[in-house]
Each structure stands twice: as structure tokens, then as C-alpha cells.
Amino acid sequence: MGRLYLVRNARTDDGTGFAENPRLDEVGQEQAEAVVRKLGHLRRPKILTSPQRRAMETVAPLARHCLAMPVVDEALTLMPLPSAESCDREAWLLAFMESSWRDAPPLQRRWRESCLFALAGLTGDVVIASHFIVINMIVGAATGDDRVVIFKPDNGSITTLDVTDGKLSLVELGRQAATRPL
């Protein structure tokens, strides 16, 4: 059995959600320190992170505190979006977030399957720093909910799940907020 702690990336200095690879802003840095206060009791947890800077910066204080080395896992990255040349990406994403995974385009379904496959074999305490859609997708898999967006995890929030024999089960949703998901 394993326990997963899904940490949503802390707040960034980018207000639009579409900057190439934004850094945490001052509030985001405080949110990253709050993760240490909540998960600092873990003894050398495995820490997986999206390759996005905001995810890596979110778990960096916890990694230092726990003397753990974060591992970048490409499966936990942002969901692929259509090219900016082919559509209004923000409009596409907002519409997609109102849909279900069964209606998702093939590229997004494959991304989802890859992410869930990467989680299936995890054991022990694992902290995962990732993003709004990723966390929703994992919670949906754990609860059998096919919607793309199930809840609105706040920046720096922690959602807890158990993994038993490759099966995910929800323990507790993270703090929710009215923040933009992008």
C-alpha cells in the first residue's frame, strides 16, 4: 500500500496560465513553505514532480527538509493542448474542462492513460507535485468520476489518496478555492 500526496503547484508570477514556464511569485513561495509544515513529518518520501518549474519550485522546500531528491516524471506534466496557431488555447481548455474524459480527443486520452499507468506501481509515501487538470484526472480515476474537472484544488493544496494493489482510493480532497485553474 502507498499513500499519495498530490500537491498542486503553488501560485506563479503569470496571471494568464499560458506563460512558457513561470516561476513562483512571493505568495507561491509561502505556499511552498506551507507544504513543508503539512508534510514535513514524512520520513524521506519519494518526491515526483512535473517537469514544469512551478511544480519543482513547489516541492523544493519539502525536499530540502526531508533530505529527499525530487524526481522529474514526464508523465505528470501538463496535459498537451492544441497548438496556439490552430485555435484559441484558453477557449479550448475552458470548454474541455466542462467535458468528460470519454469525449476527450485521442491525444489527451493517451496522456491520461500514461499518467495513470505511472501511478499504478507506486508504494510507500509519495509526494507528487503537479497541476490542476492532473490532480482532477487522478481524483476522477480514484472515484470513478469521468468529468475532467471534479473540484478546484487551490495553489499549494494537498489531496491525499491511497494506492492498494494498483487501485487508487480518495482519502481527502485538498483545499479548494475560486482561483483560476490555468
Exposure on the CB side of residue 107, measured as CA atoms within 13 A = 7
pLDDT at 86: 83
pLDDT at 85: 79
pLDDT at 174: 97
Q: Per residue in 24-66, pLDDT tens?
A: 999 999 999 999 999 999 988 999 999 999 999 999 999 999 9
Instruction: Compute the distance between CA of residue 166 and CA of residue 154 in angstroms, rounded to an integer.
Output: 27
Instruction: Compute the distance between CA of residue 137 and CA of residue 113 in angstroms, rounded to an integer.
Output: 10
pLDDT at 17: 58
Domains along the sequence of the chain with CATH: 2-172 (3.40.50.1240)
3-state helix, strand, coil in the chain (%, to 5): 40, 20, 40
Question: pTM of this prediction?
Answer: 0.92
pLDDT at 90: 87
Mean of per-residue pLDDT scores for the chain: 92
Tell me which residues of the chain have a pLDDT lower than 70. 15-19, 178-182
Instruction: Compute the distance between CA of residue 51 and CA of residue 40 in angstroms, rounded to an integer.
Output: 22
